[in-house]
Amino acid sequence: MAVMLDLLAKPKTHTPPPKIWRNYYHVYRVLSLYRLGTIFPGLHAGPSDFPTKEIAEEHAKLFLSAINPPGRHFMDFAGAYPEGDAAN
């Protein structure tokens, strides 16, 4: 005899990990970049997407080392976020 108050097993839900990550940057001055054109100070998403957060962060590190001259900062890394999320 089944009792009405028997607890059923809670269904398991699995949220898949994000498949696309995008880098965000703080821009401190007006820059003219090849792929983006002219960008103004503020928070901007990078043009590329990446399959993992680690790859996105490594790309950001290489990009910033190429664009920022020694001792000066035109841009800083704001973080890598899954597609659909954004840096605030």
Q: Please say whether the beta carbons of 21 and 56 come within 8 A.
A: yes
Residue 50 included in any domain = yes
Residue 73 structural domain: 21-82
Give the pLDDT confidence of 51-60 residue by residue, as tens digits: 999 999 999 9
Residue 2: band (very low, low, confident or very high) from pLDDT cuts 50, 70, 90: low
Give me the number of domains the chain comprises. Answer: 1
The dihedral built from the CA positions of residue 62, 66, 72 and 75, taken in this order, carries a sign that is negative
User: Closest by alpha carbon to 80, among 17, 12, 22?
Assistant: 22
Residue 10 included in any domain = no
Residue 40 included in any domain = yes
Residue 12 included in any domain = no
Residue 57 included in any domain = yes
Give the pLDDT confidence of 21-49 residue by residue, as tens digits: 999 999 999 988 877 789 999 999 988 99
Residue 75 included in any domain = yes
Residue 67 included in any domain = yes
Residues of the chain above pLDDT 90, percent:
45
Residue 6 included in any domain = no
48 vs 21: CA distance, rounded Å: 9
Give strand pairing partners of 42: 27
